[in-house]
């Protein structure tokens, strides 16, 4: 006799062990919650009395509450699982996700805190620098006025001596004495001081708003002063590297994937090529840097001998090295996208009399475009954030000119590393050193993240549009 249908949907009653475990978890959760809340309130009050930074207070409180709710959610997952194996795997997966999110949250909190410190201390340093420059200008005005007075007095003395001179020879000697002995020295001193004043006047920055400081940071060259340092050469170098990487990796990678999927003959050599491509996707980036250093630097060195304006370690060589680094990722992702195209579409096109290239150009590539763009996103993100291959290519950590493909270059990761390695700055009137170079590195890191997200966003929009245009 068949069982009634409603019996299949009946929820079994929990066992005594599950009920005790649930009660224990709830009790422990309430006790932990009250303890953590008390600890947070007490710690925030103590931190407030110690005059902590508000960003540090926010990060501290957020970390405590994140740990608290994470533990409660873990207890809930453990209590809701029916078997011990489910509980173990559920807890392991949750802990891995939780610690990953916690580390990411701590990173962004620290980055935000350092960016806030940069925005707070940079205007003060600019104000101090403006005062120094203004003092130089005032001193120059005083020196100029003093020297003008002294020069006028010397001219008066010279005229008096000329009146006392009896012969033309004595007058000539007096003129030569004043001309080469005093006036020339005075003129040189004024000229030297004038050069200092020109530098001081060009360094004046009256606008100390956040927007003006950020624009100056993005549009100026590096400097030996943290408040005057910019990232324009490094930012332009990173964008150049990304463009060169895409121009090399995408056409060659897509062409290689099309050959491997559509034209190659099955055999031992084809399997060996495929295995090597899969292995190249996991090779450390330093190996590609060594390859670029031996190949591209050697080639450009011969061009440098004939055309000195072409640097041996230039931006084009760095982009080609990163193109080789990212090409296996583009090839593998493009192969997977081509394999995902339904076979029925190919067969229908062949049935209508289309050639193999017509099928590839009009059906396979449009259908595989979202997957190709996904591989492009991954390769571009890796290329823009790489630093090790560029070190072996000879990229510099300090470049004070706009980069071009034939010139020396730097990139944002190298600029960030250079600033992180510098010591704190001592400010006049304050014994506590400031990590202004570290704050500059934090702002440059934020700019690098924004560039990566922007490039990825553009690629994602293109991929989504390609997916919407797909019609089966």
Q: How many residues does the chain have?
A: 472
* Cβ-contact 397, 418 below 8 angstroms: yes
| pLDDT at residue number 254 | 92
Give the tens place of pLDDT for each residue, 312-330: 888 898 899 999 999 998 9
| pLDDT at residue number 392 | 81
| pLDDT at residue number 8 | 45
| pLDDT at residue number 432 | 73
| pLDDT at residue number 217 | 92
Residue 207 has phi, psi (to 5 degrees) of -90, 115
> 6 falls in which pLDDT band (50, 70, 90)?
very low
Q: CA-CA distance, 439 to 122, in Å (whole number)?
A: 9
- pLDDT(444) > 90: yes
| pLDDT at residue number 467 | 72
More confident: 45 or 229: 229
Residues with Cβ within 8 Å of residue 116, at least 6 apart in sequence: 55
| pLDDT at residue number 443 | 93
Q: CA-CA distance, 157 to 87, in Å (whole number)?
A: 102
| pLDDT at residue number 395 | 84
> 233 falls in which pLDDT band (50, 70, 90)?
very high
| pLDDT at residue number 252 | 92
CATH fold for domain 226-469: MetI-like fold (1.10.3720)
3-state SS, residue 199: helix
> 398 falls in which pLDDT band (50, 70, 90)?
confident
| pLDDT at residue number 331 | 92
Q: What percentage of the chain carries pLDDT values higher than 90?
A: 11
Mean pLDDT along residues 432-441: 86
Q: How far is CA 55 from the centre of its chain?
A: 22
Which of 70-74, 157-161, 334-338, 465-469 ranks highest by mean pLDDT? 334-338
Which of 29-43, 77-91, 297-311, 438-452 ranks highest by mean pLDDT? 438-452
| pLDDT at residue number 18 | 58
Mean pLDDT along residues 127-135: 82
Q: CA-CA distance, 324 to 294, in Å (whole number)?
A: 14
Which of 82-91, 143-152, 349-358 ranks highest by mean pLDDT? 349-358
- pLDDT(310) > 80: yes
Q: For residue 141, give the nearest of 103, 194, 102, 177 by alpha carbon.
A: 194
> 42 falls in which pLDDT band (50, 70, 90)?
low
More confident: 337 or 75: 337
Q: Considering the chain, what is the average pLDDT of its residues?
A: 77
What would the two tokens of residue 390 be? 């560029």
- Structural domain boundaries in the chain: 14-120, 126-207, 226-469
Mean pLDDT along residues 277-303: 84
- pLDDT(16) > 80: no
More confident: 26 or 169: 169
Run of H or E residues at 155:
helix 84-164
Mean pLDDT along residues 438-458: 87
| pLDDT at residue number 10 | 47
* Cβ-contact 409, 395 below 8 angstroms: yes
* Cβ-contact 395, 318 below 8 angstroms: yes
| pLDDT at residue number 308 | 85
> 51 falls in which pLDDT band (50, 70, 90)?
very low
Give the tens place of pLDDT for each residue, 144-160: 677 667 666 766 777 77
Count of alpha carbons within 13 angstroms of residue 189, beta-carbon side: 15
Tell me the torsion sign for CA atoms 318, 324, 325, 326: positive
Residue 425 has phi, psi (to 5 degrees) of -105, 135
Q: For residue 53, give the nearest of 98, 138, 119 by alpha carbon.
A: 119
């Amino acid at each position: 006799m068949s069982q009634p249908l409603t019996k299949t949907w009946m929820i079994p009653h929990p066992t005594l062990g599950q009920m005790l475990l649930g009660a224990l978890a709830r009790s422990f959760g309430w006790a932990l919650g009250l303890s953590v809340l008390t600890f947070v309130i007490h710690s925030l009050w103590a931190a407030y009395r110690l005059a902590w930074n508000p960003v540090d207070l926010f990060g501290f409180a957020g970390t405590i509450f994140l740990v608290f709710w994470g533990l409660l959610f873990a207890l809930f997952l453990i209590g809701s699982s029916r078997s011990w194996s489910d509980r173990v795997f559920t807890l392991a997966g949750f802990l891995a996700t939780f610690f990953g999110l916690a580390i990411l949250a701590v990173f962004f909190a620290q980055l935000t805190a350092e960016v806030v410190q940069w925005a707070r201390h940079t205007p003060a340093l600019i104000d101090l620098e403006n005062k120094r420059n203004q003092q130089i200008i005032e001193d120059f005005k005083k020196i100029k006025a003093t020297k003008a007075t002294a020069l006028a007095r010397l001219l008066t003395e010279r005229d008096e001596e000329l009146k006392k001179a009896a012969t033309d020879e004595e007058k000539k000697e007096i003129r030569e004495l004043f001309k080469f002995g005093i006036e020339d020295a005075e003129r040189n001193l004024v000229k030297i001081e004038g050069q200092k004043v020109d530098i001081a006047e060009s360094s004046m920055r009256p606008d100390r708003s956040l927007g003006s400081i950020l624009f100056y940071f993005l549009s100026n060259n590096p400097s030996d002063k943290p408040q005057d340092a910019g990232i324009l050469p490094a930012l332009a170098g990173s964008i150049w590297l990304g463009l060169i990487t895409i121009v090399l990796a995408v056409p060659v990678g897509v062409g290689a994937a099309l050959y491997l999927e559509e034209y190659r003959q099955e055999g031992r050599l084809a399997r060996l090529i495929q295995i090597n491509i899969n292995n190249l996707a996991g090779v450390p980036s330093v190996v590609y840097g060594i390859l670029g250093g031996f190949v591209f630097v050697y080639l450009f060195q011969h061009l440098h001998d004939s055309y000195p304006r072409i640097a041996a370690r230039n931006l084009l060589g760095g982009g080609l090295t990163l193109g080789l680094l990212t090409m296996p990722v583009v090839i593998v992702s493009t192969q997977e996208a081509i394999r995902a195209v339904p076979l029925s579409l190919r067969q229908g096109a062949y049935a209508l009399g289309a050639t193999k290239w017509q099928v590839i150009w009009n059906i396979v590539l449009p259908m595989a475009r979202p997957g190709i763009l996904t591989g492009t996103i991954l390769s571009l993100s890796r290329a823009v954030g790489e630093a090790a291959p560029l070190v072996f290519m000879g990229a510099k950590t300090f470049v004070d000119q706009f980069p071009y493909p034939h010139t020396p270059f730097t990139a944002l990761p190298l600029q960030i590393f250079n600033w992180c390695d510098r010591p704190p700055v001592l400010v006049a009137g304050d014994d506590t050193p400031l990590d202004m170079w570290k704050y500059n590195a934090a702002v440059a890191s934020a700019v690098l993240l924004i560039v990566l997200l922007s490039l990825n966003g553009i690629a994602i929009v293109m991929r989504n549009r390609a997916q919407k245009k797909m019609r089966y």
